[in-house]
Structure 1
């Protein structure tokens, strides 16, 4: 580190001195915010627009050209439809900030990117291997599923684990794996519910997830070109499945052109009085996500002309969304969930019912 201006001193032989670093700038809590503010000011001055749905996304639209800049602290992804414009912007950015151009995107925040003739493939093989090595399970036998179907974990059954911090560190790492592994979304959410007081049965469930990852290291997300650009959502809910408080566990998965782009599995804090109400709440949540995704696609200049399609396995939830007469049976439901009916009437989306023998797809 160079000495600050007006405070420069020289040694005995008049050689220039430097400061000894005691704490890195990234150790300060305000450092990432200050850096992002400076970068944002530069991008805005360069005619970039800040996305309304994601503050870390910047969009430049000079005529027919498109340029996207996605920022995560000091890691930046730059893409667009003109390679020459991308190179010019990288040069301009390098003149303002000292950066390192890593070339074509291949590794970003633990996510590996592979390009194929059909599209691209995202995985976290290295991240998962490091996690398995950290917990000494890199030589364990793999399992075909992350959780058994009849697993009902409780906060009162089992003995207390010795090292709570060890349990929490593994579960937090599993939450990051969900980025490219939607198949463990439900099981990872389930073990996260007991981080305040983990028991041995919960730790066994975590080990099963790790053994599943050990046997499926090559799994990931595959994105391919699609002839039909359709936005679809699959929604489901498990009413009263929590043995402790009978809370609702809802899950959904969003597909764009047949490619999975968004998914979630979450335990709701409200206890519902019926299956129809639980399913309708899940549909309301996914309808809100639908509005957000369509707004993002519009900002990315990717218009979705067709109506979004919501798949739900509850005929009662579909009837409530499309039939105003059913309102009398749902007076106890909060008013905000009825925006689904408004969006339906405005023609923002349509729904369909799918029949499944079980609800294993959520796992």
Structure 2
């Protein structure tokens, strides 16, 4: 470790190191001059020394996270992403990159792996005009562990004919394989947003998983067998626009009657952020879905602001009709919201304007879904 110590720490003499001492006196101990692994100060001291060196070099902490360092000049942009002692460099100026590598090697004796191909479990393939990020190796190992490498593929992550509930089927004798599989699928969805909903749905049964739940999780693996190399494409263009999409399956839970909401944010047409979550069945929960989407969107927009000037707002046509109703309702200043008794999907929606929204709100009031 390269971290410096400011405390006075001692340790026993390591095994295999021979030191001379009198038989009658106390045994020798070692006084540490540098930070070692497993010390509680180790991670902080290493990061403090690294950040001090980068700040001396002219870099600054990003407002979006202390593990990201940035340096902007009139002719170059350099980004440094740090994860413990793994460092990823992004640049548009080769001369500054070469100088930075020499500086880091002088300070810390780094190992230069050149163009990134594997970083924190993510595989990066550099193709013509695009870059593909996937977890092909990780998925192959996962399929092998659960003996699904040669399983027959399916076209959907979940079986549409099976409605899973917490009490559906017999309980598993040993729930640990199910929990381990869901944990691995949760990591896999970093590049496979197509299984995000399935993982969220199956995660509800981690407490007392049943045989049917395990079969559903293995069904997800059979879906992944079809195309293990699928991932996210990033185009090499100057399009850094952000767009957000949001929707809710209102009160769609078969047993809980809760709403499942989700959103997706794209950068230049490529997905960079997505999430599914289960909400309550109230109108305020639909509102929270939109607000949460907008918060994450604004955070990504702030992160993107240093790289581009073209950041689009959320287009209303990308939101569901229920969300457009909420946006219109907020615009006309209505604050009367209560629980809606699952009658909202029964209304035939058309083009929503402020006038038609008032009519729809009156229909909701007549249904008993809103009051003062």
**1:40 and 1:165, CA in 2 relative to 1: closer, same or farther beyond 3 A?**
farther
Distance verdict in 2 for CA 1:227–1:310, change over 3 Å: farther
For the pair 1:295 / 2:298, whether they are aligned, the reply is no
The correspondence for 1:91, drawn from 98, 102, 105, is: 102
- Is 2:240–2:310's contact at 8 Å kept on the other side of the alignment? yes
**Comparing 32-41 with 179-188, which one deviates more in the overlay?**
32-41
Taking a change above 3 Å as real, the CA distance of residues 78 and 313 of structure 1, as seen in their structure-2 partners, is closer
Distance 2:319 2:304 in 1: 27
> Would you say 1:208 and 2:214 are equivalent positions?
no
Match of 1:222 among 227, 233, 241: 233
Q: CA deviation at 1:46?
A: 2.2
Of residues 311-320 and 43-52 in structure 1, the stretch that sits farther from structure 2 once superposed is 311-320
Asked whether the 8 Å contact 1:240–1:247 carries over to 2, the reply is: yes
Superposition RMSD on alpha carbons, in Å? 2.9
Quickly say closer, same or farther: Cα 1:317–1:248, change in 2 above 3 A.
Answer: same
Measured in 1, the distance between the counterparts of 2:250 and 2:37 equals 45
Instruction: Count residues in correspondence.
Output: 316
Checking the alignment, whether the CA contact within 8 Å between 2:248 and 2:320 is kept in structure 1 is no
TM-score, normalised via structure 2 length: 0.76
Measure the CA separation in 2 of the matches of 1:201 and 1:93: 53
* Cross-structure match for 1:167: 178
Q: Distance in 2 between matches of 1:110 and 1:66?
A: 26
Correspondence 1:174-189 to 2 at 5 A: 174-189=185-200
Aligned to 1:234: 245
Question: Measured at CA, do residues 157 and 305 of structure 1 come closer, stay the same or move farther in structure 2, by a change above 3 Å?
Answer: closer
Tell me which residue corresponds to 2:292: 285
Q: Kindly tell me: are residues 245 and 37 of structure 1, through their superposed partners in 2, closer, same or farther at Cα, counting changes over 3 Å?
A: farther
Q: Out of 315, 320, 323, which is 2:321 matched to?
A: 315
CA 1:132–1:184 in structure 2 vs 1: closer, same or farther (change >3 Å)? same
- 8 Å contact 1:320–1:326 — kept in the other structure? no
* CA distance in 1 between partners of 2:241 and 2:307 (Å): 16
**Out of 24, 40, 46, which is 2:57 matched to?**
46
Q: Offset of 1:221 from its aligned partner?
A: 0.9
- Kindly indicate whether the alpha-carbon contact (under 8 Å) linking 2:248 and 2:286 is maintained by their aligned counterparts in 1: yes
SS in 1 for 2:248: strand
Counterpart among 126, 141, 146 of residue 135 in structure 1 = 146
Instruction: Specify which of 119, 132, 146 is matched with residue 108 of structure 1.
Output: 119
Runs of 5+ unmatched residues, structure 1: 13-18, 334-363
Q: Distance in 2 between matches of 1:142 and 1:206?
A: 13
CA contact (8 A) 1:119 1:225 kept: yes
CA–CA distance in structure 2, aligned partners of residues 25 and 191 of structure 1: 41
Cα shift at 1:258? 1.7
Q: Say whether residues 1:122 and 2:133 are aligned partners.
A: yes
Against the structure 1 CA distance between its residues 184 and 214, is the aligned structure 2 distance closer, same or farther, given a 3 Å change threshold? Answer: same
What is the SS of the residue equivalent to 1:292?
A: helix
- What secondary structure, in the 3-state scheme, does the structure 1 residue paired with 2:327 have? helix
| Cα contact 1:113–1:123 (8 A) shared by 2 | yes
SS of the equivalent of 2:290 reads helix
Rounded Cα–Cα distance in structure 2 between residues aligned with 1:236 and 1:315: 9
Max radius of gyration: which structure?
A: 2
Instruction: Report the Cα offset of residue 311 of structure 1.
Output: 4.3
Deviation of residue 142 (structure 1)? 1.5
CA-CA distance at 1:313 after TM superposition = 5.0
Answer with 213-222 or 31-40: which moved more. Answer: 31-40
Q: Distance in 2 between matches of 1:207 and 1:96?
A: 48
CA shift in 2, pair 1:94/1:203, >3 Å = same
- Of the structure 1 ranges 95-104 and 313-322, higher mean CA displacement relative to structure 2 is found in 313-322
